[in-house]
Amino acid sequence: MGTTSRAAPPLLGSEIRVRPRSLAFLRPLVLAVTLPVGLFIAVKLCWSSAGNELIRASDWWWVGIVLGLMIWPFCLLAEPAQTATHRATYLPGLDGWRAIAIGLVLVDHTVRGFCARRKLPLPIALIHGQHGVNLFFAISGLLITWKLLEEREQTGDISLTGFYRRRIYRILPAAFVYLCAVALLSLAGAIVLRRVDLASTVLYFRNFVTTGGQVTLATGHFWSLSIEEQFYVFLPALLLLLGTRRFQSLAVVLISTCAAWRWFFFQFFAPENAPITLRFRTDVRIDGLLCGCLMAIVLADSRARRVMGKFFTIPVLIGLSTALLLIIHRKGEYTSLPESLVLPLLLAGTLLRPDKLPCRILEWAPLRWIGRISYSLYLWQQLFLIVHSDNWLLSRLQYFPANLAATFLCAVLSYYVVERPMLRRAHGKSRPAATPSRALAAETA
C-alpha cells in the first residue's frame, strides 16, 4: 500500500500569514514606478529656488506624498515575519550602554542651552554629546550585524524585506510623530523650520544639509539618524551578496579609507573655522558603525568568543576605559579612529563577562529602562534643550529643569504609545531570548 507524502506541519507557535503569490511579480514594478516619483518630489522640495524658505501649510502634504511613495511598497509587499524560525537575541547590557550614550547627549545639550541663555562660557568637561553619538554608532553597528548573522545561522538566509520592514516600524513612526509636532509649531510661528530641513529629514539625508542663514535646529539632530538609515540601506544587502569574509575585508578597507579621508579633508580642504555640520557627513563618520560591524562578526565565531572572554578581565576593561578617556580628552569633540576602535571593544568586554561588576551595573533595571526609551529621548530633547523659541508656552519649557521634565514626558509617551505598539506589529508574536548575555558568555568559561 503506497504512502502519501504530506507537508510537514508548521512549528509550534509559528505564525503563518500567506500573501497571494500573484503580488510577488508586482514588487519590482511598484518600486520602479513609485521610488523615482518620490525622489523627484523630494528633490523639487529641497533644491528649488524656494528650498530655503520657511515651510508653508502645503509643504507637509507634499512630504506626506513622498513618504507614501517611498514606504508603502515595502510595507505592502514585504515578506511575512517568520516568528518561529528567527528568534532574536536580546542583549540587556546594550540598553545600559544606550543609557550612557543618551546621558552624554542630554548633559551636553542641557549645558549648551543653559549657558547660551545666560551668556556663560561652556564648561568643556561636560560637552561630550558627539561621543555619545559615537557610542550609539558602535552599538548600532554591532547589534544590527549580530542580528543579521544570527538570522542567517538560524534560517540559512537573510530576509532583506523582513529587515527593512522591521527598520521602518522601528524608526519611522516615532520620528514622524516628532516631525509632525515640529511642523505644526513652525506653522504656528513658534520655531523656525525651512522646507529643505523638513524634506531632508523625512528622507534621511539631513546630515548633508547645512543650516544656511536660518537657525534651524529643530531637525538638526537628525544628522546622526540619517547616517544610520543610510547605513541600514546597504549593510544587509552587502552582507548577503558578499558573505561574511568578503564583507569583513570590505569593512576594513572602508574604515581605513574613512579615517584617511577625514584627516586629509580637514587638513587641506575644510576652512579654518569649518562649521560643525561638515563633521556630520557620512563619509567622515561611517567608521564608527563599521567598527561595530567587525566586532559583531568576531563575536559570531565561538572560538573568538572563548579567547576574548578570557581576555576581558577587569584590569583590561579599566585599561580600555582609561584609553578612551585619554582619546576623548586629546581630541575634544572630534571623532577619531582610535575612539571608533575602542568603543566596540568595551561593548564586547561587558557582553562577554556578564558576571563582572561593569556588566551588572549596565543591566541595572533603571539604567536599562532609560536605554529602552533612548531613541524617543534623542528625538524630543532637541526641541526643549537646544531650540530657542519666543513662544510664551514653549519658551517656559526650555528652561532647566522644566526642559528635562518635558523631554522625559514626551519620550515616555512616544515610547509607550508609538514605539512599543509598532515594534509588536513589526515582530508579530516573536519575543527575544531572555538572557542573552549569559548565552554569549556560555562558551567563555
pLDDT (tens digit per residue) in 115-141: 877 788 878 877 888 899 999 999 999
Rounded to two decimals, the pTM is 0.82
**Cα Rg, the chain, nearest whole Å:** 23
* Most confident stretch, 4-13, 84-93, 302-311: 302-311
- Spatial distance between the Cα atoms of 310 and 305, rounded to a whole number of angstroms: 9
- Higher-confidence residue of 189 and 4: namely 189
Number of other residues whose CB lies within 10 A of the CB of residue 438: 11
- Spatial distance between the Cα atoms of 15 and 428, rounded to a whole number of angstroms: 8
Number of other residues whose CB lies within 10 A of the CB of residue 213: 8
Q: pLDDT band for position 1 (50/70/90)?
A: very low
What is the average per-residue pLDDT within 174-178? Answer: 88
* Amino acid (one-letter) located at 366: P
Handedness of CA 203, 204, 205, 206 (dihedral sign): positive
- Spatial distance between the Cα atoms of 346 and 317, rounded to a whole number of angstroms: 7
- Looking at the chain, the whole-number percentage of residues with pLDDT higher than 70 is 72
Q: Which three cell numbers stand for residue 252?
A: 576594513
CB contact set of 345 (below 8 Å; sequence gap of 6+): 295, 320
Query: Which of these, 248, 228, 59, lies nearest to 141 by C-alpha position?
Result: 228
Handedness of CA 232, 234, 240, 245 (dihedral sign): negative
- Spatial distance between the Cα atoms of 228 and 301, rounded to a whole number of angstroms: 25
3-class SS string, 245-290:
HHHHHHHHHHHHHHHHHHHHHHHHCCCCCCCHHHHHCHHHCCHHHH
